[in-house]
């Protein structure tokens, strides 16, 4: 049976990714787990203990896909057996923003993911990572 096992990360839009990485590393002790660029954004995953912080610098900010820089964009929940978790939530009447679970080779080794809305329209992303990050 699937389960939600952690808040995987909090995501913040960065105005300047290098500056944000240095800020969290130098002031709070975060370590850089990985940094990549794709078609729509450049992102970095940082870790502090068992907590992770994702920093995203969109190539084209202020689009419908991205909030304002500096905002927290979503809660990322790590899940085991995403298919089972999604089925359980759908059975409870939960509304997802897409019908299908996405299967991606990036970021950071790949993941399977789907997004839903919370009661205040906050975005909640469910992630089943292909490798431990």
Specify the CATH number for the domain of residue 59. Answer: 3.10.180.10
Structural domain span for residue 91:
3-129
Please tell me the total count of domains within the chain: 1
CB 84 within 8 A of CB 90: no
Report the share of the chain in percent with pLDDT over 90. Answer: 38
> Higher-confidence residue: 125 or 61?
125
Model confidence pLDDT, tens digit, residues 83-107: 999 999 999 988 899 999 999 998 8
Q: According to the model, what pLDDT value does residue 3 have? A: 92
Q: According to the model, what pLDDT value does residue 61 have? A: 64
Confidence at 52, pLDDT banded by 50, 70, 90: very high
Q: According to the model, what pLDDT value does residue 96 have? A: 93
Q: What is the mean pLDDT of the chain?
A: 86
Model confidence pLDDT, tens digit, residues 66-81: 556 667 778 888 899 9
Q: How far is it, in rounded angstroms, from Cα 31 to Cα 25? A: 6
Q: Is the pLDDT of residue 64 over 90?
A: no
Q: What is the pTM of this model?
A: 0.67
- Residues near 93 by beta carbon (within 8 Å), at least 6 away in sequence: none
Beta-strand runs (E) in 2-101: 3-13, 31-37, 41-48, 51-58, 72-80
Out of 11-15, 58-62, 92-96, 105-109, least confident range: 58-62
């Amino acid at each position: 049976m699937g389960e939600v096992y952690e808040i995987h990360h909090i995501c913040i839009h960065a105005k300047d990714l290098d500056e944000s990485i240095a800020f969290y590393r130098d002031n709070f002790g975060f370590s850089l787990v990985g940094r990549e660029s794709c078609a729509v954004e450049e992102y970095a995953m940082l870790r502090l203990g068992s907590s992770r912080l994702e920093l995203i610098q969109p190539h084209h900010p202020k689009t419908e896909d991205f909030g304002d820089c500096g905002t927290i964009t979503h809660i990322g929940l790590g899940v085991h057996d995403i298919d089972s978790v999604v089925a359980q939530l759908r059975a409870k009447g939960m509304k997802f923003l897409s019908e299908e679970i996405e299967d991606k080779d990036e970021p950071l080794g790949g993941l399977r993911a789907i997004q839903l809305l919370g009661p205040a329209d906050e975005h909640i992303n469910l992630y089943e990572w292909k490798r431990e990050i």
